[in-house]
Each structure stands twice: as structure tokens, then as C-alpha cells.
Amino acid sequence: MTSDFKLTDSLLHRLAGARHVLVLTGAGMSAESGIPTFRDAQTGMWAKYRPEELATPEAFEANPSRVWEWYEERRRSVCQAQPHAGHVALVQLESLLPSICVVTQNVDGLHQQAGSSDVWELHGNILRSKCHVSHRPISREWLADSTHSPPRSPYVRHGLARPDVVWFGEVLPQTAIDAAMAAASRCDFCFSIGTTSMVQPAASLPLVALEAGAALVEINPHETPLSLHAEQCFRGKASDVLTSIIDQLRACKDT
């Protein structure tokens, strides 16, 4: 057991008795699977690229093939990525507690690949594509048959395929945000993992949980604006901290 990441006794007992746990994850959750974060200095995506040139509807309209190709490259790296021990620990949490809801800002599908059963994607999924005009989903078969970059939309004349992710300036999928807000309002324990807590509305979810009386634990190697609200902050990697928490929870349940 990694004792460096010990929950306080009080938090461990609150976790052991929690009926609804909310887990909010950001890019740091996928970092150990080899997927770069956005805002980390040097290695973060937005340290190398300008988001306004790649992650807005205007950028896509101005240069669709550049945006499509950039996402294709990210898609290829996501396809090679595997969930790590931290993802697996969140799946194990489901066998120890009655209800775990994972709300993720990540678009890589790694929580689902690991086996988490209740996952809400706030920012879409990079492995899916949709029509830029009608927003209807476009199948992989259609994309595979296309020789255009981006492929044409099957639905709208002169329409194009685009990744099914949320770009800056776009609204989040309503069902996902509603489910996330409901989970935040009803949870009694909340983890915020690997997010700078700078992008709304995701950043406000742990605060909604706090308001509802939940305990809040942050897992992030660096301080964030959320840190001062958390009852405990673990300055470590998601995989190390989560595997340690699972060990502690199992030991607590066995006693």
C-alpha cells in the first residue's frame, strides 16, 4: 500500500459510508495513458497549439482540413492508448460502494474502455464524428469509404464531417450536463481528478457537490483554484493515489 496518500480517518469513513460518489476527471486522468493534457507547461496541447485555430467552429470553417487532420492525429494516438491502474481503480470502486458516477471532460473513452459503467462525457468523444451542419452522427463505415479530408456529410449537401467534440464557444450536450449536475447535487463524496478546474461548467460541479454537503478530495500533482475548497488534496498521480485509496477502502471495509 502507498501510505503517502493516506485519506484522513474521517474522510475514509465518509467514503466507506458514501451512497453516491461523483468522480470528475480531466486531462490529467489520461496523462498516464500517454494522452497529453491541455494546460501543462511544455507538454500540454495548448502550449504547442493555439486553441482558437483548432478547437472552434470558426477555425473549422476557415480551414476544415487542417482541423480534421489535427483531430485525426489525436484520434490515432487515442486508439493506441490503454486505461491505466487509476482507471481500473475507479472500476473497482464500483464493487466497494453502491453508486459511482464518473463525469469526464476527456474525449478518449478510457473510462468506458476500463469498464466504468456510469460515465458522462461533457466534451464529447473524439472517436465519434458528426455532421458539422445537422450535428447528426456519421458512421465509421461512411468515413472509411471517403477520400475527402474532411469527409463529406451524408446528410447535408456541401456539409462536412467533424469530430463529435465540444469546441470553445459551443454548448455542452444537454443530457450529459443535466446528469452531471444531478450527480453533483446528490453525491455525498466527490473526487476531482486531473483537472485544472478552469473550464466551466465542469469546474463548478465539485462546488455544487460541496454545497450539497459532500466531502471533496482533489487528486492533482499541482494546486488548482479548487484546492482551497477540498478537504484533502493529494499531490500525486491519479494511478498512485487511486490505487492507494482502493487499498485503504478495502482495509476499512474488512475491519
Catalytic residues: 123
Closest separation in Å from C-beta 62 to ligand OAD: 18
Residue 175 exposed, middle or buried by CB count within 10 Å (0-12, 13-18, 19+): exposed
Q: What angle do CA 71, 73, 74 make, to 5 degrees?
A: 65
Binding mask 189-218 for ligand OAD (x = CB under 6 A): ----xxxx-xx-------------------
Q: In angstroms, rounded to a whole number, what is the distance separating the alpha carbons of residues 180 and 118?
A: 11
Which of the residues 42 through 81 are near ligand OAD (CB under 6 A)? 44, 55
Buried b (16+ CB within 10 A) or exposed e, 16-31: bebebbbbbbbbbbbb
Rounded-to-integer distance, Cα 132 and Cα 129, Å: 9
Q: Counting beta carbons within 10 angstroms of the beta carbon of residue 236, is it exposed (0 to 12), middle (13 to 18) or buried (19 or more)? A: middle
What would the x/- binding string for ligand OAD be over residues 158 to 187, using CB under 6 A?
Answer: --------x---------------------
What's the closest the beta carbon of residue 250 comes to ligand OAD, in angstroms?
22
Q: Where are the alpha helices (DSSP H) in the chain?
A: 9-16, 27-31, 45-48, 51-54, 57-62, 64-80, 85-96, 110-114, 140-144, 174-186, 205-211, 238-254
* Distance in Å, CB of 48 to ligand OAD, minimum: 12
Task: Give the number of residues in contact with ligand OAD, rule: CB under 6 A.
Answer: 27
Which of 37, 12, 17 is CA-nearest to residue 26?
Answer: 37
* Binding pattern for the stretch 9-28 against ligand OAD, x by CB under 6 A and - elsewhere: -----------------xxx
Cell of 132: 458539422
| Least Å from the CB of residue 91 to ligand OAD | 17
Q: Does 123 bind ligand OAD (CB under 6 A)?
A: yes
Instruction: Candidates 31-39, 72-80, 182-190, 245-253: pick the segment binding ligand OAD (CB under 6 A).
Output: 31-39
Q: Does residue 105 interact with ligand OAD by CB under 6 A?
A: yes
- Given the complex with ligand OAD, which of 77 and 99 has the nearer CB atom? 77
Specify the residue, 116 or 195, whose C-beta has the smaller distance to ligand OAD. 195
Q: Could you tell me the smallest distance in angstroms from the CB atom of residue 14 to ligand OAD?
A: 22
The DSSP code sequence of 141-152 is: HHHHT--SSSPB
- What binding mask, one character per residue, do residues 221-250 give for ligand OAD by CB under 6 A, x or -? xx-x------------xx------------
33 near ligand OAD, judged by CB under 6 A: no
Q: Give phi and psi for 128, each to the nearest 5.
A: -100, 155
CA distances to 3, 32, 188, 204 from 234, in Å:
12, 16, 19, 20
Interaction site with ligand OAD (CB under 6 A): 26-28, 31-32, 37-40, 44, 55, 105, 123, 166, 193-196, 198-199, 219-222, 224, 237-238
